[in-house]
Structure formats: C-alpha cells, structure tokens
Amino acid sequence: MPVVDQLTRIVIAGGGSAGWMTAAALSNLLAPGCRITLIESEEIGIVGVGEATIPPIKQFNKLLGLDEFEFIRRTQGSYKLGIQFVDWVEPGRRYFHPFGTYGRPFDFGHLLYFWHQAQRQGKVSNSLDEYCMAWVMASQERFALPLSDPRSVLSTYDYAYHFDASLYAAYLREVSERRGVVRVEGRIVETRLNGETGHVEALKLQDGREVSGELFIDCSGFRGLLIEEALHTGYDDWTQWLPCDRAVAVPCASAANFLPYTRSTARTAGWQWRIPLQHRIGNGYVFSSNYLDESAAAATLLANLDGKALAEPRTLRFVTGRRRLGWNRNVVAIGLSSGFLEPLESTSLHLIQAGILRLLALFPDRNFDPALRDEYNRVANSELERVRDFLILHYHLNRRSEGELWRYCANMPIPDTLRENIDHFRQQGRLVQREYDVFVRASWLAVHVGQLNLPEACEPPPQAHAIDSAQWLERLRSSLQSEAGRLPSHRQYIESHCRAAA
Ligand SMILES: Cc1cc2nc3c(=O)[nH]c(=O)nc-3n(C[C@H](O)[C@H](O)[C@H](O)COP(=O)(O)OP(=O)(O)OC[C@H]3O[C@@H](n4cnc5c(N)ncnc54)[C@H](O)[C@@H]3O)c2cc1C
C-alpha cells in the first residue's frame, strides 16, 4: 500500500545524458506507484559530447542492470585505463593519471618513498608511471578485466569507458521506456509556479499541453530552464580559476592504434582531447575565449587530428561554475543545469550519477523536508569543490612559457584547500584526504608528481631501511611489464567480447 505522503508524479525536463540516466535510475530503483514523465525536444537536441568517464560509472550501469558487453556494443564503446597528459607541465613532458593504484597490492606507501629516494640518489630515471599497472597496460595498448585476487598485480588497476554519448542516451531511453517512463516530445515554453509555496506545479508546452507533477528534475542543460529561468537560483562563476569557456569538437576517422586511454594535449590557449571509440575518434579543443577566437581554435584542432575529419567542427560555450543550490524548492538540477566543470577529468557524467544516487538516498515525500534538501546541497557543494581543486591543480602547476593562459594559471590565486594540498605534498609527500572527494589518493599522487610538485622529504614506511630501493623498484617494474605482456591487446579484447555492429 503506498505511504500517504509518497510522491506519485515526477517530471524530468530534458532528455540528454542527464535526463535519461535519471529516468533509467528512478524507474529501476524507486518503489512502484510513481509515474515518471520525461519531456524532451528533438528540435533543441542535446550537447552529446560526454564521451569519457571515470570508474564509478560501472556501478551505475550495474545498478541499472546493464550487461557490460552489451552496453559497450550498443554505444560503440571502448575501455579507458586513465588519461595521458601531454605537454601539460612543459612541451615534451608527459604523464599518466591512472585508474587504480600504483605498485603491488598493499605497497602504495612504499612505492612513493622508494621512488623518491632512488630518484634523489640518481639510481633510477624512470617516471612514476612505470610502476603503475594501468599505465604499463595502456602503453602496450592492452586490456582485460582486472582480477579480483588481491594478491595479484592484475587487481591493482581499474577502468572506465569511452562511449558515444548520444547512443548512451538512446540506449537508456529504451531501458527507461521498457520500465514505464512516459516520454513526451515537445518544447517547454513556460513553468507554472504555485503562488503560495513557489514550487513548480506544471510545465507548459508550445502546443498548449501541460505536464503537472510534484517533484521536477531539471535536466534541461546549460540554460537551467526550471532551476534558473523559473526559480532564479543563481550561479557561482569559477572562471577566475578555470578560465576555459569554449570548446570546438569534431569526430575523425579511427587511427591504426586503438588506445585504451584518453589523451589530453596542452595547446596555446587550452587543451585538446582525443577519445578513441570503436567507429571513430572524438576530438575537441577546450580553450579560453580571452586568448583565442573560435576559428583559430577550429583550425588548430583540424590540423591536429589522427584521421580524416568526419564533420564540421561544432562550438560549445560554457561558464565553469556551479548552481548555488542544486536542489531548490521542489526542483533538483541534474547535469549541465546544475553547473559545469570543464571536461578535463571527465567528471560530468559522474556528477550526474552522484546527484541521482544522492537524490535517491534523500528522497523526499510531499512535505519536502528542508533538511533533505540542505543535506543534498551540502554534499553536492563539497563534491564540486573537490573536483574544482583537482582540475585547478593541473593548470596551476604548469611551467609552460608559451601562451598567456598558462602564465595566468601559474600565477593566479587558488582556493585555500588546494593550496594546503599542494603544500602538504611538497613538504612531506602527504596526500590530504577530504570529504566527498571523487578522486582517490593515487589520482592526486599522479597529478602532483606529473606536474612536478615533488616532495622535499618523504616519510619512510616501516622496514624501509633494510631494502635497496633501486632493486625493489626494478623487480616491481619488470613484474608489471611481464604480466601486462600476457594480456590481449585492447583491440583483440573488444573484437572477442563486445564489438559493435558495423
Ligand atoms: C565540450 C564538452 C565536453 C564534454 N566532455 C565530457 C566528457 O568527456 N565526459 C563527461 O562525463 N562529460 C562531458 N561533458 C559533459 C556532458 O556532455 C554532459 O554532462 C552531459 O551530456 C549531460 O548533459 P545534459 O543532459 O545535462 O544536457 P543536454 O545534453 O544539453 O540535454 C538537455 C536536454 O534538455 C532538452 N531541453 C532543453 N530545453 C528544452 C525545452 N525548452 N523544452 C524541452 N526540452 C528542452 C533538450 O532537448 C535535451 O534533451 C562535456 C561537455 C562539454 C560542453
């Protein structure tokens, strides 16, 4: 029997990745008795460029009951072991942000100490990447699912996916409609508010229809049709820390290699992404309009593709920052309507997933207890601030001499929380852990070391004095190399398990 105050009508405004991820999750995880309606406008379309993800997406897909291989086939997907950063510190220098951890199981602390010691004594010249399973596999273009045996180095890496965002939304639409979600095609032209409570009551469509509801999820993209245009929630602009505000994107034909990782290459006024899918490579140049115009960005992008361009470059404009309240009255903003942190670490789809799961954990009834809303907003704010700090770290620690953007970023004031993280790591190799950080310690380690924020000293782990650091490192390096060498190539793995139809 339904609880008296249980919500019975949920309306999702927008059918991009955010809208359909929300619809699929709510229709699968909410108790029966709730009607879910999704309104979208084909005429307006979707952003459709969210192609790279981070590992927690696996849990989200599992919650939806998706089969991994079927999902990859349906979305022309590929595997992602991390991100390679090219020329970010200075031209000619590269590093890898891996998914998973470094070293053998259980010796994360030893690794940093031994590597630091051996480097200082001039006994090794290898980069930290060489001691990380995800990079060793990535550099050999290999892939297989990790093992669950915690004694094996093949359990130390993690993975995510690259996929075609439009195909993902279409796939989730199918899943959601099978579970009873009602899709309404139409353009929302007006939001009707209750005169007393200020809550949204109904959305009016261009053809005169009206869709009413009790809880509204705003997945309408950058405009924030409900959260901003109707409720005037406000937006914190973070452009002073993350100045990029444009991207030009273009797909190109596949190349001979099939990399199991995203590549991010620094350019004069921003950076270029390269995301390999089964049927094409996704590319884009994220830049700051203060330092470059759109046609020059498009020209740079087209001059730096690994295959023939398959479309005209498309420009996207954004303002990095966050909506002041992700949940305001009876509207929860999910996706681009809740804010946008540029795509450097592929966090947007993850933040959608995190928003959906948080909403489910704090699900309101008709009384809309403000404590639920406040808790939702508190966690969302912390989560976004941690991602913000992680992104700024990449820019701020650059040593590039070419390009005004880079000089600005190296000299700009940064948030205190990030300043503390940088200082702790530089002084003692200490990785500060903060609440609701999406990124694990290994991720922060990768970027601190990759961007040359190297520790001045490093706490020795127990028994360290009895071990020869260079020998220890060499044994580790060669065992990772030989284990990786036995794995199939990324291409072979996809061919045998989840090749998409041509
Ligand atoms: C350059 C760039 C690169 C990115 N790369 C990544 C990445 O690698 N990884 C990642 O995780 N994320 C990435 N993102 C973010 C990702 O694309 C988005 O988070 C994701 O696509 C979700 O978008 P959305 O559904 O919120 O908005 P949209 O895709 O814009 O969808 C909005 C929906 O609302 C509907 N709508 C709007 N107005 C109306 C109206 N008046 N009436 C009816 N319907 C309406 C539209 O039709 C559409 O269905 C990137 C974003 C950008 C800009």
Whether residue 123 lies in the annotated active site: no
Q: Which amino acid is at 23?
A: A
Helix pair 17-29, 348-361: axis angle to 10 deg = 30
Planar angle of CA 126, 128, 131, nearest 5 degrees: 90
Atom number of ligand 1 nearest to Cα 318: 53
Mutate to test the pocket of ligand 1, among 222, 315, 348 (most ligand atoms within 8 A of CB): 348
* Distance of CA 218 from the midpoint of ligand 1 (Å): 11
- CB atoms < 10 A from the CB of 475, how many? 12
Planar angle of CA 188, 225, 204, nearest 5 degrees: 25
- Asked if 171 and 79 touch (Cβ cutoff 8 Å), the reply is no
* Distance of CA 260 from the midpoint of ligand 1 (Å): 25
Q: Whose CA is nearest to atom 49 of ligand 1?
A: 15
* Distance of CA 367 from the midpoint of ligand 1 (Å): 30
Mutate to test the pocket of ligand 1, among 46, 163, 226 (most ligand atoms within 8 A of CB): 46
What is the pLDDT at residue 237?
98
SS3 sequence of 292-331: CCHHHHHHHHHHCCCCCECCCCEEEECCCEEECCCEECCE
DSSP code for 501: P
Q: Whose CA is nearest to atom 1 of ligand 1?
A: 247
Record the pTM.
0.97
Q: What are phi and psi of 207, to 5 degrees?
A: -85, 10
Q: What are phi and psi of 262, to 5 degrees?
A: -85, 145
User: For the CA atoms of 74, 51, 42, 30, what is the dihedral angle to 10 degrees?
Assistant: 70
Q: Whose CA is nearest to atom 4 of ligand 1?
A: 50
- What is the CB < 6 Å shell around ligand 1? 14-19, 39-41, 44-47, 49-53, 165, 187-188, 219-221, 225, 247, 249, 284, 316, 318, 335-337, 343, 346, 348-349
Mutate to test the pocket of ligand 1, among 43, 336, 338, 356 (most ligand atoms within 8 A of CB): 336
313-339 average pLDDT score = 98
pLDDT, one tens digit per residue, over 219-229 is 999 999 999 99
Please, which pLDDT band fits residue 462 given cuts at 50, 70 and 90? confident
pLDDT, one tens digit per residue, over 6-24 is 999 999 999 999 999 999 9
Q: How far apart are CA 159 and CA 260, in angstroms?
A: 9
Q: Which amino acid is at 77?
A: G
| Catalytic residue from among 80, 123, 204, 308 | 80
- Asked if 23 and 228 touch (Cβ cutoff 8 Å), the reply is no
pLDDT, one tens digit per residue, over 130-140 is 999 999 999 99
466-483 average pLDDT score = 93
Percent of the chain exceeding pLDDT 70 equals 99
Please, which pLDDT band fits residue 2 given cuts at 50, 70 and 90? low
Q: Whose CA is nearest to atom 53 of ligand 1?
A: 316
198-206 average pLDDT score = 98
* Distance of CA 239 from the midpoint of ligand 1 (Å): 20
DSSP code for 480: H
What is the pLDDT at residue 106?
75
* Distance of CA 220 from the midpoint of ligand 1 (Å): 8
468-495 average pLDDT score = 96
Q: Which amino acid is at 272?
A: Q
Please, which pLDDT band fits residue 35 given cuts at 50, 70 and 90? very high
Residues 6+ apart with CB under 8 A from 365: 3, 5, 6, 7
Helix pair 404-411, 370-396: axis angle to 10 deg = 120
Query: Which pair of tokens denotes residue 332?
Result: 């929860």
The burial of 196, by beta-carbon neighbours within 10 Å (0-12 exposed, 13-18 middle, 19 or more buried), is given as exposed
What is the pLDDT at residue 421?
98
Strands 215-218 vs 9-13: parallel, antiparallel or unpaired: parallel
